[in-house]
A and B are shown apart, each in its own frame.
Chain A
Amino acid sequence: MKEHVFDRYLRPEKLKTMWCPGCGNGIVLQAIIRALDESGADPDKVVVVSGVGCSSRAVNYLNTCGLHTNHGRPIAYATGVKMANPALTVVVITGDGDCTSIGGNHFIHGCRRNIDLTVVVVNNDNYGMTGGQYSPTTPLDAMTKTSVYGSYEPPFDVCELAAGAGATYVARGLTYYPVQLKNVILNGIRHKGFSVIDAMSDCTSLYGRLNRLGDAPTMMKRWEEKAVPLAKARTLPPEALAGKIVYGEFVRSDARREYTEKYAEVIRRAQEV
């Protein structure tokens, strides 16, 4: 019998996952697994690095090398791993709070350096593990445990942030479209440079419940209304995109030199002196 891709990449003894029923993390994890498999990377040479939060627990289930780090710091740890051995395929799994709040500085500097990491931001609009507080991506006026009168902080757009800071591959995918999500993660892994995938996911038991978005299938179906592919969005006037989430590939550029390659040049230069 042919081995299933999950048999190669999961640690069955660590299952089942700790995630709530209906959570999007499982869909993101399978997209990462399929993307890694299609990339042809040798699992012995894959290091998956994560921070702290529900989605960061994904590394516990993966049969690759795993580095489960401190809150907000996975990109900084991953940078050290990649520089110590540039031959490794390094994937970072992080959440919206982990990446854009406590880890915001590491995130923008990773983008600026353009080091070859693939960063999957599992974006569920709130801090799930601590019980549903607002994060830097919580939509304005949304209900969370720390914004009981509606969130009053304007949210970050993860893709705009990444593009502005210099990431050379920036895309958004949705758990509602798992094949598209897998494809953008795969393109991120194949891209030589800093890749950011904003993976829109649903937190059903906290964000969904607090905002009366219905059960998991109902929450997923709302993406049919809410999500607009980039090609279509480009044809629409700005007012038609109010409250919508645009998904697709925003940046895919080879214009900037990847960091480990640039550093190899520094070594050559130093050794010539």
Chain B
Amino acid sequence: MQGDRILTGNEACTLGALAAGMNFFAGYPITPATEIAELSSELLPKRGGTYMQMEDELASIAAVIGASTAGAKAMTATSGPGFSLMQENLSYGMIAEIPCVLIDVMRQGPCQGVATVPAQGDFMQSRWGTHGDHPVIVLVPNSVSEAYTETIRAFNLSEAYRTPVIVLSDATLAHMSEKVRIPDVSELTIVNRKKPTCDPKDYLPFSNENHQIAPMASFGDGYRWFVSGIVHDDTGFPVTNRPEAIRDSLDHLLGKLRDHLADIESYEEYRAEDAEILILSAGLVSRSAKSAIDRARARGVRVGLFRPVTLWPFPEARFSALCARAKTVMTVEMNGGQLAEVAAKYVDRDQTLRPVTQNDGTIIRAETIFDAILEVC
């Protein structure tokens, strides 16, 4: 298994998940994510794991969360319309603090849109798609190789922080082939959820002191714990009539990520240290940006890239530090300007924000970005 292999993004997500210990997959066929389901259906039974094709996406994420409560490392994969259907139960995973992984292979447009071409229209759906204030970790790989490693990291973060983690791929990354170095199992860091060791009668499945993550039992291993989608105290049972308990419970969901940003955040900087033009871009299109940066640098333009790999929580400390040194912040993305709205928060009146957006189902080419750089420098 280890060594160099040529894989597609969808294959890399599947193999990364298996390397991380995925033993349960439930999904519903949807272009351009289907190959993740197909490969899972072939490989999981070989390892004694479960593949289930559910009746819809609501059921898929529900089964994934249910399986996780019984101890499984569970994942689903979908695309925009299916991702919308999953939002309802995703909120359950968040409030009930159940680890699981969701891969959203982004395609173009709202509704059926264009099912076979790439886009980045789900940046905001991944952040605010489900209702209520909620924590979210979203990872955006920009290569097949990262599709592999970030899917592993998605499982690790979900197990460490007891929360659903979303990986945003896109239709091109999903289907393009690249070399991936598959490491030996011994080289991988695999995180599994902490299990309780206390007497079952002392078990507090949702203790949240100092935003530490409570150990999570599996149904059936002797802890008769209770899981609910209602705001709950540390025992898991509803508290709906005490404002301070509601506050503590909900604050923990946000606080458990806020207090561990250094561990969760990951980003790449490319020639950004002295950049007067700072490009913000995530996912596959960031590679076009890099190529444009190299060409512009050859002409003496001080331009660089900040690429959040953890899109949410957005790595704002580092981004705002780099922003402060730039004259122009340029966002490059395949949507109408979702990252531009993020960047606007950090851009002062004496700086320029230049969104480069392209929403036609094709990857933004380096020339387009290069031209935009020349326009603003």
Q: Which residue of A lies closest to B45 (CB)?
A: A270
**For B74, what are the chain A residues with a Cβ–Cβ distance below 8 Å?**
80, 84
Judging by beta carbons under 8 Å apart, are A80 and B24 in contact?
Answer: yes
Main secondary structure of the interface of B (DSSP, over half): mixed
Say whether A81 faces chain B, with CB atoms less than 8 Å apart.
yes
Distance in Å: Cβ of B174 to nearest Cβ of chain A: 25
**For A70, what are the chain B residues with a Cβ–Cβ distance below 8 Å?**
62, 88-89, 92, 229
Over the window 246-268 of chain A, the binary record of Cβ atoms lying under 8 Å from chain B Cβ atoms (1 yes, 0 no) is 00000000000000000100110
Judging by beta carbons under 8 Å apart, are B59 and A81 in contact?
Answer: no
Say whether A234 faces chain B, with CB atoms less than 8 Å apart.
no
Judging by beta carbons under 8 Å apart, are B52 and A79 in contact?
Answer: yes
Q: Which residue of B lies closest to A79 (CB)?
A: B63
Distance in Å: Cβ of A83 to nearest Cβ of chain B: 5
Say whether A20 faces chain B, with CB atoms less than 8 Å apart.
no
Option from A49, A60, A77, A81 in Cβ contact (under 8 Å) with B237: A60
Distance in Å: Cβ of A92 to nearest Cβ of chain B: 11
**For B138, what are the chain A residues with a Cβ–Cβ distance below 8 Å?**
none
Distance in Å: Cβ of B180 to nearest Cβ of chain A: 24
Distance in Å: Cβ of B347 to nearest Cβ of chain A: 40
Judging by beta carbons under 8 Å apart, are B48 and A66 in contact?
Answer: no
Q: Which residue of B lies closest to A265 (CB)?
A: B45
Judging by beta carbons under 8 Å apart, are B224 and A44 in contact?
Answer: yes
User: How distant is the Cα of A44 from the Cα of B97 in the complex, in angstroms?
Assistant: 21
Say whether A182 faces chain B, with CB atoms less than 8 Å apart.
no
Distance in Å: Cβ of B171 to nearest Cβ of chain A: 27
Judging by beta carbons under 8 Å apart, are A65 and B224 in contact?
Answer: yes
User: How distant is the Cα of A88 from the Cα of B59 in the complex, in angstroms?
Assistant: 20
Judging by beta carbons under 8 Å apart, are B70 and A76 in contact?
Answer: no
User: How distant is the Cα of A204 from the Cα of B223 in the complex, in angstroms?
Assistant: 36
- Interface bracket on A: 35 or more
Judging by beta carbons under 8 Å apart, are A85 and B71 in contact?
Answer: yes
Say whether A192 faces chain B, with CB atoms less than 8 Å apart.
no
**For A14, what are the chain B residues with a Cβ–Cβ distance below 8 Å?**
237
Say whether A59 faces chain B, with CB atoms less than 8 Å apart.
yes
Q: Which residue of B lies closest to A48 (CB)?
A: B226
Judging by beta carbons under 8 Å apart, are B65 and A77 in contact?
Answer: yes
Judging by beta carbons under 8 Å apart, are A68 and B224 in contact?
Answer: no
Given A70-B89, A79-B59, verify A270-B219 contact (CB < 8 Å).
Answer: no
User: How distant is the Cα of A264 from the Cα of B284 in the complex, in angstroms?
Assistant: 40
Q: Which residue of A lies closest to B62 (CB)?
A: A76
- Interface bracket on B: 35 or more
Say whether B243 faces chain A, with CB atoms less than 8 Å apart.
no
Over the window 10-50 of chain A, the binary record of Cβ atoms lying under 8 Å from chain B Cβ atoms (1 yes, 0 no) is 00001000000000000000000000000000011101010
User: How distant is the Cα of A109 from the Cα of B70 in the complex, in angstroms?
Assistant: 21
Say whether A240 faces chain B, with CB atoms less than 8 Å apart.
no
**For B88, what are the chain A residues with a Cβ–Cβ distance below 8 Å?**
70, 73
User: How distant is the Cα of A47 from the Cα of B70 in the complex, in angstroms?
Assistant: 9
Judging by beta carbons under 8 Å apart, are A47 and B89 in contact?
Answer: no
Judging by beta carbons under 8 Å apart, are A84 and B222 in contact?
Answer: no
Given A63-B224, A85-B71, A273-B46, verify A80-B62 contact (CB < 8 Å).
Answer: yes
**For B24, what are the chain A residues with a Cβ–Cβ distance below 8 Å?**
80, 83-84
**For B72, what are the chain A residues with a Cβ–Cβ distance below 8 Å?**
80, 84
Q: Which residue of A lies closest to B218 (CB)?
A: A85
Judging by beta carbons under 8 Å apart, are B224 and A43 in contact?
Answer: yes
Q: Which residue of A lies closest to B46 (CB)?
A: A270
Judging by beta carbons under 8 Å apart, are A47 and B219 in contact?
Answer: yes
**For A105, what are the chain B residues with a Cβ–Cβ distance below 8 Å?**
55-56, 58-59
Judging by beta carbons under 8 Å apart, are B58 and A81 in contact?
Answer: no
Judging by beta carbons under 8 Å apart, are A45 and B220 in contact?
Answer: yes
Distance in Å: Cβ of B244 to nearest Cβ of chain A: 20
**For A49, what are the chain B residues with a Cβ–Cβ distance below 8 Å?**
66
**For A106, what are the chain B residues with a Cβ–Cβ distance below 8 Å?**
55, 58-59, 62
Given A45-B220, A81-B66, verify A73-B238 contact (CB < 8 Å).
Answer: no
Say whether B124 faces chain A, with CB atoms less than 8 Å apart.
no
Q: Which residue of A lies closest to B88 (CB)?
A: A70
**For A66, what are the chain B residues with a Cβ–Cβ distance below 8 Å?**
224-228
Say whether A233 faces chain B, with CB atoms less than 8 Å apart.
no
Judging by beta carbons under 8 Å apart, are A65 and B225 in contact?
Answer: yes
Say whether A271 faces chain B, with CB atoms less than 8 Å apart.
yes
- Counting chain A CB atoms within 10 Å of each CB, which of B24, B88, B224 scores highest? B224
Distance in Å: Cβ of A25 to nearest Cβ of chain B: 17
Given A65-B226, A271-B45, verify A77-B70 contact (CB < 8 Å).
Answer: no
Judging by beta carbons under 8 Å apart, are B220 and A88 in contact?
Answer: yes
* 13 pairs of residues in contact across A and B, judged by CB atoms under 8 Å: A66-B227, A67-B219, A70-B229, A76-B62, A79-B52, A80-B69, A81-B219, A84-B68, A85-B218, A88-B70, A105-B58, A106-B62, A271-B48
A residues sitting closer than 8 Å to B (CB atoms) are: 14, 43-45, 47, 49, 59-60, 63-70, 73, 76-81, 83-85, 87-88, 105-106, 109, 263, 266-267, 269-271, 273
Question: A59-B226, A267-B45 provided; 4 other pairs, C-beta below 8 A?
Answer: A60-B238, A79-B63, A80-B74, A84-B74
